Structure 1
Amino acid sequence: MTDHPTERASTPKHGLGDALRTWWSGLSRPTQWLVGVPAIILLALLPVLKPPIIDTPGTSFGGVMAQFAMIALIAIGLNVVVGQAGLLDLGYVGFYAVGAYTVGLLTSPNSPWNQSDDWLNPSWAWLACLPIAVAVTALSGLILGTPTLRLRGDYLAIVTLGFGEIVRLLADNLSEVTNGSLGLSGIAYPRVGESADKPQGVFSAGNVGDRLNSGVWWFWLGMILVILVLLIVGNLERSRVGRAWVSIREDEDAAEIMGVPTFKFKLWAFTIGAAIGGMSGALYAGQVQFINPTGFNIINSMLFLCAVVIGGQGNKLGVIVGAFVIVYLPNRLLTFEVGGQSLGDYKYLFFGLTLVVLMIFRPQGLFPVRQKLLTYGRQVRRAVRRPDATTEAAR
């Protein structure tokens, strides 16, 4: 006995976010590119167009967007560790610091390890140091993860928290190498677009134009890195590695019983997340051209975790939205004052209240991850939606 057509047509109502995701998933791959590429171009043009609604009058909008691209990279890397594999990492800022100090130690004139005068030409020194920073940070994640990933829950969180503090204290106390609290200045950056009015290039901090300032160029470079990382992480999610991460996150004991080598895949997640954090640290070092230990404190590590929690753990696009919230709102509120105090100075209060409200009403975050068949999800959905030949004949 077949159901009435009107009964089959009735489907439960979903919210706008679910409707958008369903619409996007139903598009073919070429159509997704036709829709996605113009959206990316529009996003790239935002700091140039500076729409009055979203502009930040109190600071450079291009600089804000450059910071957003950098934090988005961090959120994607931390999401691999926390959102995908379910490993609570409270010291992720340590990997961020390792990547930044790798670039700083190799290119800063204050460093005894400066190689800019030997085999690193200043014109492409930052670009050459970027893969080195990623490799060194991935190695540090591998070294840290090998003995510590046998721990779980709060114990792992305490160990990673200690790692972040150890990196900061080493940078503060190894004065002969890191210049201590004075930091490393004159760090290399891409020397591109040198001209009479921009003798140091478009990426230089001296490029303070109204439209195409250095922040806009760093934002574009950060967007390229974010897209590359998203492609890599997305392919991993749909592979055997991603399915293993999800099983570990949901129930590590059950995954172990089913034959998943949990330690190996947790180490994969930790190393990949560390490498992405090191890439963001290298981006930060080149952008500000100065680093010191105070920029890598535990508060920043908590803000990185806030971006993942607010956006939605396990949703790589959701954590990018969380990163935007973390960066944009404090800068947007700088021009608003209450009692002579800028609202931007209360960002920790606002983020704390936001987390409390989210944990009560929406603990999965603004854009919760939706479980689905990761590898053949598109083909399965099409097969399910295709009308059955027998049913059509019966009509």
Structure 2
Amino acid sequence: MKKKQTNWLRFLVEVGILALIFTVVQYAISMGMLNQYYQINLTSMCINIILAVSLSLINGFTGQLSLGHAGFMAVGAYASVIMTNFLEMPFIVGIIVACLAAALAGFIIGVPTLRLRGDYLAIATLGFGEIIRVVLQNIEYVGGPAGVLGIPKYTSWPWLFGATLLTIVVIVNLINSSYGRAIISVREDEIASELMGVSTTRYKVLAFVIGALFAGLAGSMYAHFFYIIKPETFNFLKSFDILVIVVLGGLGSTTGAVIAAIFITALTAFLQAFPAVRMIIYALILIIVMIYRPQGLMGNKELGRRTFGKIWSGRNELTRN
């Protein structure tokens, strides 16, 4: 009984912290304390968190090297814009269609390619991302190489906060479920998992589809904040940027993906003041981190109830003493 009360109290504290963060940021935006520059960086931070956490499910927890995540983001962005801009549907319809379209693309590419391993899989997913980009360049309905202009700005802080929180909650709960344990077993030893009766292809496709779904969500948020999308936005370098965030945060750590996404976004914004040496400084920081912390900022550790539970228990012990 006491343990349940403690868990409920921790849950309420976590909800309270999230509500406080949301309220403070919303108040700052409403009062004009966050100008357009900071709002752009805040939006980029949330989108990068969604992308990093969703790719971490594929690369970190399932152990599959995917280099086509920007392709799923592109599918989501264009699907959402078609629904809202061209068909004049509500934003929520655009989001749902974006997620479903990206998940379908993940399923289509996942079924034939996830039987591959290692470098072969990376090349296949890289090819998929480039195919999506080239196809979009040749579809006049969505503007071809010029892309789509004048997209209504539906993405706001409540939408961003809700999308980011939903992504983290769903993926964390998936990893902590029986499906998550099967997914992690694929990463640890695929042959042993197969011998134990785990359908490795099935769980790899499941992780791929869910990761693609949330990449589509990120694409929808991106398209309806920045007014314009074009195929070149979702090229190989975008996929590589997301991969860097995941590796920097630590393969197999959702917390690491979140922290690295915040760090990289803030670093990119800071280095805009030094355009001549921006990429040099950016690369040097990444090299230094990889030399002295090759497992990433968090490794495979998480900050959550277990971590804060130890702090909580220690505090109770001190109180009793």
Same fold (TM over 0.5): yes
Write the letter of the residue equivalent to 1:35. V
Taking structure 1 as reference, are residues 28 and 313 closer, same or farther at Cα in structure 2, changes over 3 Å only? farther
Distance 1:92 1:345 in 2: 29
Q: Do 2:58 and 2:66's aligned partners in 1 also have CA atoms closer than 8 Å? A: yes
2:309 pairs with 1:309: no
Task: Give the equivalent residue in structure 2 for 1:128.
Answer: 93
* C-alpha spacing 1:311/1:219, structure 2 compared with 1 (3 Å): farther
TM-score, length-scaled by structure 2: 0.85
Please tell me whether residue 251 in structure 1 is matched to residue 160 in structure 2: no
Structure number with larger C-alpha Rg? 1
CA distance 1:270–1:345, shift in 2 (3 Å): farther
Cα distance, 1:240–1:360 mapped onto 2, change above 3 Å: same
1:143 and 2:121 matched? no
- Per the alignment, residue 317 of structure 2 pairs with none
Alpha-carbon offset, residue 46 of structure 1: 4.7
1:188·1:286 contact (CA, 8 Å) conserved in 2? yes
Equivalent position to 1:90, from 49, 59, 67: 67
User: How far 1:309 sits from its partner (Å)?
Assistant: 1.0
The alpha carbon displacement at 1:264 in A equals 0.4
* Matched residue, 1:12: none
Task: Show the counterpart of 1:16.
Answer: none
1:164-183 aligned within 5 A: 164-174=129-139, 176-183=140-147
1:277-296 equivalences in 2 (<5 Å): 277-296=215-234
Q: Which amino acid aligns with 1:266?
A: K
- The corresponding residue for 1:274 is 212
Against the structure 1 CA distance between its residues 319 and 267, is the aligned structure 2 distance closer, same or farther, given a 3 Å change threshold? same
Mapped contact 2:45–2:262 kept (Cα < 8 A): yes
Task: Look up the match of 1:389.
Answer: none
Q: Aligned-pair distance for 1:346?
A: 4.2
Picking from 15, 28, 31, the partner of 2:9 is 31
2:299 matches 1:365? no
Instruction: Flag structure 2 segments of 5+ consecutive residues without an equivalent.
Output: 314-321
SS at match of 1:330: helix
Are positions 1:356 and 2:321 aligned together?
A: no
C-alpha contact (below 8 Å) 2:76/2:98 kept by paired residues? yes
More helix by share: 2
Where 2:225 maps in the other structure, the secondary structure is helix
Q: Verify: 1:299 aligned to 2:299, yes or no.
A: no
TM-score by length of 1: 0.70
Residue 115 (structure 1) aligns with:
87
Does the aligned pair in 1 maintain the 2:28–2:34 contact within 8 Å?
Answer: no
Alignment of 1:45-124 (within 5 A): 45-46=24-25, 49=28, 60-108=37-85, 114-116=86-88, 120=89, 124=90
Displacement of 1:106: 2.7
TM-aligned CA deviation for residue 30 of structure 1 = 2.0
User: Cα distance, 1:48 vs. partner?
Assistant: 5.3
What stretches of structure 1 of length at least 5 have no aligned partner? 1-26, 109-113, 191-202, 204-217, 335-341, 372-376, 386-395
Q: Is the 8 A contact 2:59 2:251 kept in 1?
A: yes
Aligned to 1:208: none
Q: Distance in 2 between matches of 1:350 and 1:306?
A: 15
Which amino acid is 1:31 matched to? L
The answer to whether the 8 A contact 1:165-1:298 is kept is yes
Letter in 1 for 2:110: G
Query: CA distance change for structure 1 residues 38 and 333 in 2, over 3 Å: closer, same or farther?
Result: farther
Q: Which amino acid aligns with 1:365?
A: G
> 2:18 maps to which residue?
40
Runs (4+) of structure 1 moved beyond 6 Å?
Answer: none
- Offset at residue 79 of structure 1 (A): 0.7
**Is 1:327 matched with 2:262?**
no
Q: State the match for 1:235 in structure 2.
A: 173
Segment drifting more, 343-352 vs 280-289: 343-352
Name the amino acid aligned to 2:265. Answer: V
Deviations 1:213-244 (A, max 9, x none): xxxxx233211111122221122111111101
Quick one: structure 1 residues 165 and 28, their matched pair in 2 at CA, closer, same or farther if it must change by over 3 Å?
farther
Percent identity over paired residues: 35
The whole-number CA distance in structure 2 between the counterparts of 1:129 and 1:56 is 27
Q: Which residue of 1 aligns with 2:318?
A: none
Inter-partner Cα distance in structure 2 for 1:92 and 1:36: 30
The residue type equivalent to 2:147 in the other structure is G
2:281 partner amino acid? F
Residue by residue, what CA displacement relative to the aligned partner does 1:277-323 show, whole Å, maximum 9, x if unpaired? 00000111111121111211111111111111111121112101111
Say if 1:287 and 1:232 are closer, same or farther in 2 by CA, change over 3 A: same
Is 293-302 or 94-103 further displaced after alignment? 293-302
Change (3 A) 1:329 1:154: same
Q: Which amino acid aligns with 2:141?
A: V
Aligned length: 300
**Partners in 1 of 2:7 and 2:168 — Cα distance?**
16
Contact 1:104 1:291 in 2 (8 A): no
* 1:344-394 deviation digits (Å, cap 9, x = unpaired): 5644433433332233221221112139xxxxx97xx99xx9xxxxxxxxx
